[in-house]
Amino acid sequence: CLHQSVSPQAPPNFTRHVSEQSAVTDRLSRRLTRTYQLYSRASGKHVRVLEDRRVDAMAEDGDAHGEARAKLIVETDTFGSRVRIKGEETGFYICMDNRGKLIGKRNGQGRDCVFTEIVLENNYTALQSVEHASWYMAFTRRGRPRKGFRARQHQREVHFMKRLPRGHLVAEQRPFHFISFPFRRTKCIRRLGQH
């Protein structure tokens, strides 16, 4: 008779799995896209990407041109909370160059155009650069972009709130469509002696 010693196996570490998967760009899965406005706590206005590739936080909510420019398309990049953000009207992605400056780029496939969404204790969201881990997307009170290396997570300039564009909820509400399947009544027969 052989005795095998079975060592207890450690439970899976899901936190580690999520952090490892979040560090790798997922090119196989279908990308989730969302449309929203990014409200800057510092300027009191919305982030926009202009035709000349400038990025600022000066778009008004409800202004015909401002609202259209303030609409952002957010694409997931990984299993976790890494995203790419582009202006719906201009098609430029928000990227951070090596000097910490926010710029718009037509091709947003580089790591300089990927940000990690961090939900803060005050329920605002901070957007941390993936290329430069200690840099954040930030805007001044006048809506001008602030250099990423000068921004810190606790500062108002880094705090954003995701808001749906006006009328977006109404457009998204669609009636449910039920699909009917042919239903056949079946008899359930239980044999004696079986459980």
- Tokens at 76, concatenated: 């997931």
Question: Is pLDDT of 174 > 50?
Answer: no
Count the alpha carbons within 13 Å of 9 in the hemisphere toward its beta carbon: 3
**Any domain includes 10:** no
Q: Are the CB atoms for 41 and 124 separated by under 8 Å?
A: yes
Q: Are the CB atoms for 153 and 41 separated by under 8 Å?
A: no
Q: Which of 64, 62, 63, 83 is nearest to 72 (CA)?
A: 83
Question: Is pLDDT of 184 > 60?
Answer: no
**Any domain includes 143:** yes
Task: Supply the pLDDT for residue 190.
Answer: 56
Task: Supply the pLDDT for residue 177.
Answer: 46
Could you tell me which residue, 108 or 31, shows the higher pLDDT?
Answer: 108
Predicted confidence band at 79 (pLDDT cuts at 50, 70, 90)? low
Question: Is pLDDT of 13 > 80?
Answer: no
Query: CATH code at 80?
Result: 2.80.10.50
Q: Which of 20, 159, 33 is nearest to 84 (CA)?
A: 33
Task: Supply the pLDDT for residue 55.
Answer: 96
**Any domain includes 11:** no
Task: Supply the pLDDT for residue 77.
Answer: 80
Backbone angles phi, psi at 151, to 5 degrees: -95, 145
Question: Is pLDDT of 157 > 60?
Answer: yes
Task: Supply the pLDDT for residue 139.
Answer: 97
Could you tell me which residue, 40 or 6, shows the higher pLDDT?
Answer: 40
User: Does the reported pTM lie above 0.85?
Assistant: no
Query: Structural domain of residue 84, as residue ranges?
Result: 25-169
**Any domain includes 190:** no
Question: Is pLDDT of 146 > 50?
Answer: yes
**Any domain includes 125:** yes
Buried b (16+ CB within 10 A) or exposed e, 152-175: eeeeebbbbeeeebeeeeeeeeee
For the segment 7-36, the average pLDDT, to the nearest whole number, is: 64
**Any domain includes 51:** yes
**Any domain includes 136:** yes
**Any domain includes 152:** yes
Buried b (16+ CB within 10 A) or exposed e, 117-131: beeeeeebbbbbbbb
Backbone angles phi, psi at 162, to 5 degrees: -85, 125
Question: Is pLDDT of 38 > 90?
Answer: yes
Predicted confidence band at 4 (pLDDT cuts at 50, 70, 90)? low
Indicate the SS3 state at residue 67.
helix
Q: Number of structural domains, the chain?
A: 1
